[in-house]
Structure 1
Amino acid sequence: MDKVWLKQYPEGVPQEINPDQYASLVALLEESFEKYRERAAYKFMGKAVTFGQLDDLSRAFAAYLQSQGLEKGDRVAVMMPNVPQYPIAVAGILRAGLVVVNVNPLYTPRELEHQLKDAGAKAIVIIENFAKTLQECQAQTPTRKVVLTSMGDLLGFPKGAIVNYVVRKVKKMVPAFSLPGAVRFKDAIAQGRTAPFKRPEIKRDDIAVLQYTGGTTGVSKGAVLLHRNVIANVLQSEAWNAPAMKKVPAGEQVVTICVLPLYHIFAFTVNMMLSLRIGGCNVLIPNPRDMSAVLKELSQHRFHSFPAVNTMFNALAHHPDFNSVDWSSLSLSVGGGMAVQQATAKLWLEKTGSPICEGYGLSECSPSVSCNPTDSKAYTGSIGVPLPSTEFKLLDDEGQEVPFGTPGEICVRGPQVMAGYWQRPDETAKVMTADGFFRTGDIGTVDERGFFRIVDRKKDMILVSGFNVYPNEVEDVVAQMEGVLECAAVGVPDERSGEAVKLVLVKRQPQLTEADVRAYCEQHLTGYKRPRIIEFRNELPKTPVGKILRRELRGG
């Protein structure tokens, strides 16, 4: 393919980045803490956290973790929405030489138990809203140290106390829980201030993050992201965004809206880490589902960068309060996580003057691997071209490269590609080629200019609002329900979320109802994995060998 895509690079964007620019992710963070000390790194509910405060609080948290007997390489889970405690905890975990395990706060006890056990997480930092979930599965996990935080913890008095009161008593968002021995976040910071901090030696090839991704075998696997993987992706994204960032007036701090959840690798790298690197500020949105609250928050800021998924762009653009926000300084809208739809892109450009630059990434790649040029004027419908230091090739089922215009599996090589799946050499072997390319499972084509387009999926994965749902996992859970003989899950097109889960069941007991199945799924599957459509049939279509033909279930 001869890297034809390099001809599409905007002026000033380098073909290569240097992933060895920093000795570790900690070196990158500490450079920014020093350089931008007085600047706001985060804004949350009207309160700012500066780079200097982030430095001070995360160092205290690192010392606290070390004082608890955690040693280099131990895993610490983080289960919170977008609150300032998140970046503080992450920076503290990394500075202590530990490994961040990002956890979706909406997980059910079953999902949380699997992840904590699989990662071998010795500690967890969790917001109290989800403490009951932990209580229900903690005994089955190795997670003994619990640091508990609440929504208003860093808002100061009296605002923090008011916010916590409203969350707990008025909105009743904190179910009763019992976690004996849990330490409050503020107390952990206070203890850490008086404890010695021993700076560990951290290398580029040490593990920084275990980022869990759905598994084709029905359970999710941890993508092992090294310090150098995340550093590389931060530098790749920075280089790629440079043409758009030129529109920001000289000397003005880049403000990014953080509406994507930080536990998702897209926001982890593109919001949190990239902003820290460039001395930018993230406006943290704790509940992106509340569109009125999101727009009210946005109306109070002048901002330049807005990474989001198609569903978010679409919902905002159609909201009656959209014009209460000043969009005039928006320089970069990046769409990722799921396909950006043409209608959404057209409406967004009309309303904001900022085209959505669609990119493509995977948890296994820290995540970004390709993007449309950020000086684009319009929607292309493609996933753009490979980022600096990144190579793509398209392979057929025999592992041979296919010519231009012919569909093949997109395979990626670059410094952002994971070291492998956590303790799963068999699964790692399935996705890595002998020459170091990662097989994405997505089928794509490339045109003569080097622009790639996704046309299909090799795996049966369902993509709901940017989140991977693996049919096997949904099927494994539902098959355990009394009254179910067999079942199959497939993705069907959905205007709101791109795709939705459709579940087709064969009953073992005639009295089984749709309401029973929904209640069961609510108990065992997090929101985006739950079926939107439930259908009962007398039998499922199968191959002669007995394998369920999922494709035949998508229609009708």
Structure 2
Amino acid sequence: MQQLFTQSLLSPNKTAIIDPKGSFSYRQLQADSDRIAKGILAGKPDLDEARVAFMVSPGFDYVRIQWAIWKAGGIAVPLCVTYPLPSLAYVIEDTQAELIIAGPEYEDILRSYALEKGIRLLTIPEVDQLDDTTPLPVIDSGRGAMILYTSGTTSLPKGVLTTHAIIESQVGTLVKAWKWTAEDHTVCLLPLHHVHGIINVVSSALWSGATVQFIHPFYAKEVYGLFLEGKVNVFMAVPTIYFKLIAEFESYSKEKQERLSECMAKFRLMVSGSAALPVSVMERWRAISGHYLLERYGMTEIGMAISNPYEGERRAGYIGKPLPGVQTRLVDEQNHAVELGQPGEIQIKGPSVFREYWGKAEATAKSFTSDGWFKTGDVAVIEDGYYRILGRDSVDIIKSGGYKISALEIEEVLRKHPAVKDCGVVGIPDEEWGELVSAALVTLEPVDEKALNRWMREQMPAYKTPRKYLVVEDLPRNAMGKVVKNELKKLF
């Protein structure tokens, strides 16, 4: 992680972080993380990969705590700031964390739990009182650095262990591919217990000597206010955020819309990820901002692996081509390479792939092939050299009447209907069909199901059209805005 830390020595007076509390330079970030690292060592020469869980709001406090854990030789375990105690306890106990660091607003949630379990807890004010002269250890790049938890859509969440070298590979690849520089100014709206926020936004920016500005919680009005200041030039978000930004934009006067569009046209990069971006949203955002969003593909286990190009053609509905240093292949259920143009599971190999699922040797072994390829579980097809995601084998590939049907393809068509605001398509177990194609709809007006079905059959083959519809107020989503398909199935 040395590259990440040394940037602060190159431009010590440059602003690294802006949050609601103020602006903080690289010099402050370096000095604070050094001091805290020495304090949490508490006289020990090295934390020696002890797990340190921390529940801290996005901003300067979060970054200096994370850096301090790394510098002291610990494994950082960021906790989701919106999780209830049982979910937090699962992560703390699964990692066997020896120390918890909590922001003042989360102390009440964690204090009695830590006391009951005999785990040391420090609040931010207590951390700021730490002072120690213990020298910092030299950290080998092969050591564990961070444990992030999968969303647990098919089983209990698993802790994904990455090393310092793996994080360096993930960040270094993105810095080159997306041409980060010290002149960049980005805004972080994304949760910091996910790879998207930690790696793609915060670590890539700080590695490059850029400035990261935090907005927490997300308010579309505040984001646009920040845009109009004219400093931000790199923006990364998830489809849910783009949905909300479009809705906010459409509530403004024509004059304000024009000012915003003119401002956003000057950005050098806008990215969407973490969930499939509807083509309709891509086109609307392009009309608003002048930007064809760069879509990319990644996972907690691999960082980013595939991306539309920074320079060159970006294709709506496609995740792009493999990033430099990342090996990819598509295989069938027997693990044989598929013919070009045929769908297959994406498998990944390279220095950015995680080391193991924490404490789960069997799950780790099952997730890799015998020759070391990581099995993503995502199904894609390659068309003209570009990867197009068809869905996740366990939830987005519906096996109905002998066909393999992409739920994402059906969702894309449904969203084009004027009465449909959003939707989620799943397969419901059925004796006759195996799985029944079923669609949950968030609508703008009452929908006649028979008329909708006739319309769908004009758009796509009859075997792909939903046989069951359900109108809902909203779709169940996780912290990154992804629709949780297993929760959606329960509604049927």
Give TM-score, length-normalised by structure 2: 0.77
Alpha-carbon distance, 1:382 to partner = 0.6
The DSSP-based 3-state class of the residue aligned with 2:376 is strand
Alpha-carbon distance, 1:530 to partner = 10
Match of 1:19 in 2: none
Deviates more, 1:125-134 or 1:340-349: 125-134
> Structure 2 CA distance, aligned partners of 1:338 and 1:137?
34
Match of 2:269 in 1: 332
In the alignment, is residue 277 of structure 1 matched against residue 207 of structure 2?
yes
Match of 2:357 in 1: 421
Match of 1:406 in 2: 342
Alpha-carbon distance, 1:297 to partner = 3.2
Matches within 5 A, 1:11-22: none
Are the counterparts in 2 of residues 113 and 140 from structure 1 also a CA contact under 8 Å? no
The DSSP-based 3-state class of the residue aligned with 2:128 is helix
Are the counterparts in 2 of residues 431 and 439 from structure 1 also a CA contact under 8 Å? yes
Distance change (3 Å), C-alpha of 1:235 and 1:533: closer
Cα deviation code 1:507-532 (max 9, x no counterpart): xxxxxxxxxxxxxx9xxx98979989
Q: Which amino acid aligns with 1:128?
A: P
Are the counterparts in 1 of residues 238 and 481 from structure 2 also a CA contact under 8 Å? no
Match of 2:56 in 1: 80
Q: Which amino acid aligns with 1:441?
A: G
Cα deviation code 1:242-278 (max 9, x no counterpart): 2xx6xx8xxx721011111222211101111111111
Match of 1:57 in 2: 32
Match of 2:325 in 1: 389
Match of 1:346 in 2: 283
Give TM-score, length-normalised by structure 1: 0.69
In the alignment, is residue 208 of structure 1 matched against residue 145 of structure 2?
yes
In the alignment, is residue 189 of structure 1 matched against residue 128 of structure 2?
yes
> Structure 2 CA distance, aligned partners of 1:457 and 1:120?
31
The DSSP-based 3-state class of the residue aligned with 2:301 is helix
Are the counterparts in 1 of residues 390 and 396 from structure 2 also a CA contact under 8 Å? no
Backbone CA RMSD of aligned residues: 3.2
| Alignment partner of 1:240 out of 162, 170, 177 | 177
Match of 2:107 in 1: 131
Identical residues among aligned pairs (%): 23
Cα deviation code 1:13-54 (max 9, x no counterpart): xxxxxxxxxxxx1x1123101012111011113721111110
> Structure 1 CA distance, aligned partners of 2:172 and 2:243?
29
| Alignment partner of 1:100 out of 64, 71, 76 | 76
Number of equivalenced pairs: 416
Q: Which amino acid aligns with 2:229?
A: Q
Q: Which amino acid aligns with 1:283?
A: Q
In the alignment, is residue 227 of structure 1 matched against residue 202 of structure 2?
no
> Structure 2 CA distance, aligned partners of 1:225 and 1:345?
32
Match of 2:246 in 1: 317
> Structure 1 CA distance, aligned partners of 2:487 and 2:277?
27
Alpha-carbon distance, 1:377 to partner = 5.5
Distance change (3 Å), C-alpha of 1:28 and 1:534: closer
Alpha-carbon distance, 1:378 to partner = 4.8
In the alignment, is residue 369 of structure 1 matched against residue 305 of structure 2?
yes
> Structure 2 CA distance, aligned partners of 1:57 and 1:234?
23
Distance change (3 Å), C-alpha of 1:533 and 1:296: farther
Alpha-carbon distance, 1:72 to partner = 1.8
Are the counterparts in 2 of residues 302 and 329 from structure 1 also a CA contact under 8 Å? no
> Structure 2 CA distance, aligned partners of 1:439 and 1:491?
27
> Unaligned 5+ residue runs, structure 2?
398-406, 408-425, 427-436, 444-475
The DSSP-based 3-state class of the residue aligned with 1:369 is strand
Alpha-carbon distance, 1:236 to partner = 0.8
Match of 1:31 in 2: 6
> Structure 2 CA distance, aligned partners of 1:354 and 1:526?
25
The DSSP-based 3-state class of the residue aligned with 1:364 is coil
Alpha-carbon distance, 1:387 to partner = 0.5
Distance change (3 Å), C-alpha of 1:377 and 1:304: farther
Are the counterparts in 1 of residues 238 and 480 from structure 2 also a CA contact under 8 Å? no
> Structure 2 CA distance, aligned partners of 1:282 and 1:455?
34
> Structure 1 CA distance, aligned partners of 2:236 and 2:49?
31
> Structure 1 CA distance, aligned partners of 2:306 and 2:289?
24
Alpha-carbon distance, 1:135 to partner = 4.0
Match of 1:151 in 2: none
The DSSP-based 3-state class of the residue aligned with 1:191 is coil
The DSSP-based 3-state class of the residue aligned with 2:243 is helix
Larger relative contact order (C-alpha < 8 A, sep ≥ 6)? Answer: 1
> Structure 2 CA distance, aligned partners of 1:495 and 1:305?
31
> Structure 2 CA distance, aligned partners of 1:534 and 1:227?
35
Match of 1:455 in 2: 390
Match of 1:48 in 2: 23
Match of 1:265 in 2: 195
